[in-house]
Chain A
Amino acid sequence: MDGVVGFRRGVWAMAPLWLGVVPFALVYAVLARDAGLSLLETQALSALVFAGSAQVSAVGLFGSGAAALGIVSTTFLLNVRHVLYGLSLGRRIPLSRRQRPVAAYFLTDEAFGVVAASGERTFAFLLGAELSLFGMWNLATLGGAIAGSAITDPAELGIDLVFPLAFLALLVPLVRTRVELLVAATSGAIAYVAARGLPGGLPILLTGVVGSLLGATLTNGRLGEDVDVEDAAREVA
């Protein structure tokens, strides 16, 4: 019985974040349809991968005919931060062996942020928050995929511009310090040059590795433990 109450609290704790998730899912779905994915394929990515920025970058790469390896490695780079959330959550919430894979499958920046901010320490609450986002993400994907089919001539409208605009809008809130600005600018420049010579997916992988190593090196001994995982989750969310 406590489980049901906790679950419900988790569902509603996530509700304010629906506002951010719905437009993101709509953008994803429209871009996916524009890239030539079917309704089923568009929905499958939301249900199986369930990771916004990775899905948007993947459909951009699908559209440009990138190799599978490039798409998977970009997905890895974009999602490897979840290791941090898992490490932190695993310490806060007691999870049984069976609960772990379920909690992991639906884990997102948003769910981590909500749990960290709430102080709730139960699997039921975590799952409620996770499924709340999962349900909304998939509903909005469906809506966007259907609406996206109605856009008859995406190239003529310049819909492909939504892709860089979306990532720019995700990037801006993350850049607060001088080092972060430097990493963002350097990464943008590296990717721009690399994209002229290397096949799709590879420039992102290269830039992701070089840019993050640059940032970690430049902050050596300064950021230290100040890199707040919870803060990072809120920003990405």
Chain B
Amino acid sequence: MTFWLTVAGMVAVTFGSRYAGLASRFELPDFWVRCLHFVPIAVFAALVTPSLEGGLGEREIRVAAACVTGLAAWRTRNLGVAIVAGMLAFWALRWVSP
């Protein structure tokens, strides 16, 4: 039940954002345009760091895997390639670490 209520809330804020712009004709002040530009950067970064450590005491190899993903994302700009590269590095490091 909580799940579906949460989904209803997600739909409301998502559709609301999508509809608000289409239905109105105002100019957003410059400061807020710039603010919106930085929202994905701030939020994506916030979604990376807290869950990077994991609960199994594998901090070092998880961070190393993230470096591989970061590098791959920078070179290829391809989400799938970047994630697979990081996970392969993670499994390889797990395999070789004592």
A-side residues, CB < 8 A to B, are: 20, 22-24, 26-27, 37, 41, 44-45, 48-51, 53-54, 57-58, 60, 62, 68, 71-72, 74-91, 95, 100-101, 103-105, 107, 158, 160-175, 180, 183-185, 187-192, 194-195, 203-204, 207-208, 210-216, 219-220, 223-225, 227, 229, 232, 236
Contact residue among B46, B56, B79 (Cβ-Cβ distance under 8 Å from A211): B46
Instruction: Given A86-B20, A161-B54, answer yes or no on A49-B46 (Cβ-Cβ < 8 Å).
Output: no
Give complex CA distance A167, B73 in Å. Answer: 11
* Chain B interface residue number, banded: 35 or more
Give complex CA distance A67, B86 in Å. Answer: 30
Instruction: Given A23-B83, A81-B36, A169-B69, answer yes or no on A75-B43 (Cβ-Cβ < 8 Å).
Output: no
Contact residue among A24, A37, A164, A224 (Cβ-Cβ distance under 8 Å from B66): A164
Interface class of chain A by DSSP = helix
Q: Are A58 and B10 touching (Cβ within 8 A)?
A: yes
B-side residues, CB < 8 A to A, are: 2-3, 5-7, 9-15, 17-26, 28, 30-52, 54, 56, 58, 62, 65-66, 69-70, 72-74, 77-80, 82-83, 86-87, 90-91, 94
Q: Are B19 and A100 touching (Cβ within 8 A)?
A: yes
Q: Are B39 and A185 touching (Cβ within 8 A)?
A: no
The 3 lowest CB-CB distance pairs between A and B, nearest first, are: A86-B21, A211-B42, A215-B38
Contact residue among A23, A75, A187 (Cβ-Cβ distance under 8 Å from B41): A187
Residue of A nearest to B56 (CB): A158
Q: Are A89 and B21 touching (Cβ within 8 A)?
A: yes
Q: Are B40 and A223 touching (Cβ within 8 A)?
A: no
Give complex CA distance A127, B58 in Å. Answer: 46
Shortest distance between the CB of B26 and any CB in chain A (Å) = 8
Q: Are A83 and B17 touching (Cβ within 8 A)?
A: yes
Q: Are B22 and A210 touching (Cβ within 8 A)?
A: no
Residue of A nearest to B23 (CB): A100
Q: Are B13 and A187 touching (Cβ within 8 A)?
A: no
Besides A107-B18, A212-B41, 15 new A-B residue pairs in contact (Cβ under 8 A), listed by A number: A60-B47, A76-B14, A78-B40, A86-B20, A86-B21, A90-B25, A100-B19, A161-B65, A164-B48, A166-B79, A187-B45, A194-B50, A208-B39, A208-B43, A216-B32
